Homo-oligomer: A and B are copies of this chain.
């Protein structure tokens, strides 16, 4: 057949090419990847798609954590590219965190060719089984001609409010066999509107004179939502709260401040004890992170009334606007935070004084990835009146999120400085993300709090009632013998690094890091 009438040759796409073009057309511009043989056609297809930036991670836990950081900042999904069941499995822990963050992510997981599955080759596994616990949507393509439409569905699924993980399993032959062409993007799913009744109920409860708080999560914690919440709080006296591990909070000067619920169960209970009414906006009722013998799991006092203004899939900013209106809340509500940098610290070298230095030096528009664990609190306190910034937390409690999350956040927010607060224990899970920072020249400063222990476990050991423990048990919580050297580890992956043992060291090193662009690591020896 003569296809040369218009001078163009008909070049049919393969499945991988149809998928890559579909993803690009649906707004996916970044693919965090750790590919293998079964993903080679997808990798090849990336080459001819200028709209997608492929970013290599040396381990899938880094890849998925980066996709989480990207998604929290960009508000749209990155793709991941993972190698069969075990490749996905390596990324599951950070997908667990991403699920708890409601981050949109599209996983593309290569698998054996459909006709090869019957042979149970060494890498064969239950890919969908691995995917299900973390995914809101799982689908295995069965034909190269379906892959494009499946990809469009995956993007739409990931964007289903408030955001979720969509996993598309791509057998190798569906990548290499012929396809029709890319599929058009599906309409972006929108958050549901909140009913007038829900707004009225919340308005009545907040006007009742009872001691009330509004617990927010998701979109409500961005500047617009906070400003509306500030008006409501100003009009009603309600406290404004966020979870200990909110996915993303806009903080600092010009923003309405929210109180963060404390981590430990008994502190949480004490903090929430005065409440008679709790209004939820995209959040769930607060519960203890772990159970402890003879301590409560439920955070609220008996009799506290719980109302949903907006469920997680609903439009929280609009709901807050409607509530402010229903309350006739004045435009000027709570006074937004005024910029006040902490004093120069003196005295002991600990996470409080280090936090003060970070608070003094943090640039405007910074993003903080916080997996500081027992060492993050100092910086949290010292930055509340700092310049405007975003704070990203360890949403699912699975350590090893901080460094990859910072990496992905930097990809998703070019031009903004990212500061990663990272405990040494968690750092060792997914430190490979440093290499990606070096390769992509990302503007991330990582502060490793090296207390050389799983310090939280030393706290928890007695709290759970495990008493009279000896050296054998304690050695399981201890990161000494040998000490880790994070300067060498970072340099081994191409990231400039230094060690700080005094406040003067840290101030000089952190200031220098804030003045430069590109990856940098500071090991703080506590």
Contacts and interface: CB of A to CB of B under 8 A. Distances in A.
Interface residues of A, number: 101
A481 B126 contact: no
A501 interface: no
A438 to B, nearest CB: 5
A284 B121 CA distance: 10
A3 to B, nearest CB: 19
Contact of A40 (B115, B176, B461): B461
Interface stretch (A232-240, A384-392, A415-423, A491-499): A491-499
A298 interface: yes
A343 interface: no
Interface in A452-469: 454, 456-457, 460-461, 464-469
A290 B112 CA distance: 7
Most chain B beta carbons < 10 A, residue from A37, A85, A400: A37
Interface string A430-456: 001001001100000000000000101
A304 to B, nearest CB: 15
A172 B291 contact: yes
A93 B96 contact: no
Contacts of A115: 291, 297
Given A47-B469, A290-B112, A489-B488, A398 B123 contact: yes
A190 interface: no
A142 interface: no
Number of identical protomers? 2
B485 A492 contact: yes
B492 A287 contact: no
A432 B431 CA distance: 10
Residue of A33, A97, A397 contacting most chain B CB atoms (<10 Å):
A397
B120 A457 contact: no
A192 interface: no
A326 interface: no
A507 interface: no
Given A122-B397, A487-B492, 14 more contacts: A33-B476, A90-B93, A112-B290, A113-B297, A120-B284, A121-B297, A123-B396, A125-B133, A129-B132, A172-B464, A482-B493, A488-B489, A488-B492, A492-B492
11 contacts: A37-B290, A40-B464, A44-B467, A46-B473, A56-B476, A96-B125, A122-B395, A122-B397, A123-B397, A485-B491, A485-B492
Interface of A: 33, 35-38, 40-41, 43-44, 46-48, 54, 56, 58-59, 61, 85-87, 89-90, 92-93, 96-97, 100, 112-113, 115-116, 119-123, 125-126, 129-130, 132-134, 172-173, 176, 245, 284, 287-291, 293, 297-298, 395-398, 400, 425, 428-429, 432, 435, 438-439, 454, 456-457, 460-461, 464-473, 475-479, 481-489, 491-494
